């Protein structure tokens, strides 16, 4: 019993610790991660899920990071086989819905890291809402060189 | 009529029946094989050309500074992907998928190569490519060259690429580029193309079907 409780607690702690620091009642961040850059890359990509638990849409105007020179929200679009990256000025998250930034779609472009960021490091992401409030998330840097299964379901 | 000739007539009749049965089943079997082959090729995710296409002569260099030309696409299967090392989303995602494809095809007794061709030769030196491709898989091959050399290969294949200036005017420009994966057969001919979104499972299973049809 004790062990089970302990385990549940540990899992909870891990979930909380790995995914979010909350400062906003309606907007929470799940599964943030930064793709470890292959050697030579100056630009890194970040991914996360933003969950709007409120009954009204939430607008995110930007996402910043003190660990990088700059950050922009981009969308990868494929038109006639050509991949293009389009800057996105803001994101609207519908009421009671999640919005996913994931490989091959919406993503965060992070320019020029302030320090080397190999796997195991963490990055701070600040999500800015149109109402002036902010949500901060801690994203682990993850080395991913196999297929990402999360972007299968479309 | 002697018993002997009666017996031989029965024998001949039997032989005839057996031959007829064999011929029919051979016919059915062949038809089924052809049909199955056709169905298998129709069920591909990839676009396979009815006739593989010869490609124009080109000359580039690989990440070890060795010449990479049409001969480098012969005697083995080659998967080609075009991109650039400063590419944050599409290229790492695709190279990760190709690494998964390589793992799924490991049981095959085939020489299969995975080649990443830079469409950003200004920034992608062989040294830079060497570090980049080996991050995903130690056997992957990086290819770059002069802008003219890249054009020689990409243009006839319909691979598009164009620089998009950075908003801050720095050299951190992006490159829009074709995100398809191209398959070349051991004759060095353009055999099939996989369009995005790419899945390692689909590419690997399509490859097995095409390999069977090729043999």
| CATH at A41 | 2.60.40.1890
* A153 in any annotated domain: no
Least CB-CB distance to B86: which of A41, A78, A84?
Answer: A41
Q: What is the ipTM of this complex?
A: 0.75
* A46 in any annotated domain: yes
Q: Do B172 and A85 touch (CB under 8 A)?
A: no
pLDDT of residue A4: 63
* A151 in any annotated domain: no
pLDDT of residue A22: 45
10-residue averages of pLDDT along chain B (215 residues) = 67 76 71 62 87 96 98 98 93 96 97 98 95 96 97 97 81 90 98 95 97 93
Segments forming the whole domain that contains residue B35: 1-43
Residues B146 and B96 in one domain: yes
Residues B143 and B72 in one domain: yes
Residues B107 and B196 in one domain: yes
A145 to chain B, minimum CA–CA distance in Å? 4
When divided into structural domains, chain B yields a total of: 2
* A154 in any annotated domain: no
pTM of the model: 0.79
Is the pLDDT confidence value at A150 over 50?
no
* A150 in any annotated domain: no
- CA A42 to chain CA centroid, Å, is 18
* A11 in any annotated domain: yes
Residues B53 and B35 in one domain: no
CATH code at position B73? 3.40.30.10
Is the pLDDT confidence value at A8 over 70?
no
pLDDT of residue A21: 45
Q: Do B85 and A40 touch (CB under 8 A)?
A: yes
B162-177 confidence digits (pLDDT tens): 999 877 666 778 999 9
pLDDT of residue B172: 75
Interface check for A107 against chain B (CB to CB < 8 A): the answer is: yes
Which has the closest alpha carbon to A27: A137, A140, A151?
A137
Residues B38 and B65 in one domain: no
* A131 in any annotated domain: yes
């Amino acid at each position: 019993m004790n062990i089970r409780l302990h385990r549940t607690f540990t899992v909870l702690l891990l979930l909380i610790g790995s995914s979010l620091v909350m400062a906003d009642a309606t907007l929470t961040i799940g599964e943030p991660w930064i793709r470890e850059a292959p050697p030579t890359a100056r630009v890194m990509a970040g991914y996360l899920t933003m969950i709007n638990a409120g009954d009204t849409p939430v607008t995110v105007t930007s996402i910043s990071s003190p660990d990088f020179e700059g950050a922009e929200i981009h969308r990868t679009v494929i038109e006639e086989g050509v991949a293009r990256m389009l800057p996105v000025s803001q994101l609207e998250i519908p009421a009671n819905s999640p919005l996913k930034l994931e490989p091959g779609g919406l993503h965060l472009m992070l320019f020029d890291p302030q320090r080397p960021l190999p796997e195991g490091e963490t990055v701070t992401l600040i999500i800015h809402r149109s109402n002036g409030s902010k949500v901060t998330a801690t994203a682990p840097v993850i080395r991913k060189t196999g297929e990402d299964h999360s972007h299968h379901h479309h | 009529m002697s018993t002997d000739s009666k017996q031989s007539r029965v024998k001949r009749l039997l032989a005839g029946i057996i031959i007829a049965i064999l011929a029919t089943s051979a016919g059915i079997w062949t038809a089924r094989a052809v049909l199955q082959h056709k169905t298998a090729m129709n069920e591909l995710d990839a676009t396979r050309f009815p006739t593989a296409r010869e490609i124009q002569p080109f000359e580039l260099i690989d990440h070890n500074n060795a010449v990479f030309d049409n001969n480098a696409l012969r005697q083995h299967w080659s998967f080609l992907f075009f991109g650039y090392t400063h590419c944050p989303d599409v290229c790492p995602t695709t190279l990760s998928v190709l690494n998964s494809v390589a793992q799924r095809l490991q049981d095959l007794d085939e020489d299969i190569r995975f080649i990443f061709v830079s469409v950003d030769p200004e920034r992608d030196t062989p040294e830079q490519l060497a570090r980049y491709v080996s991050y995903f898989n130690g056997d992957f091959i990086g290819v770059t060259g002069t802008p003219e050399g890249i054009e020689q290969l990409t243009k006839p294949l319909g691979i598009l690429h164009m620089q998009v200036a950075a908003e801050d005017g720095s050299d951190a420009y992006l490159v829009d580029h074709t995100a398809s994966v191209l398959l070349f057969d051991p004759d060095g001919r353009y055999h099939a193309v996989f369009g995005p979104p790419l899945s390692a499972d689909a590419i690997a299973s399509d490859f097995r079907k095409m390999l069977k049809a090729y043999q």
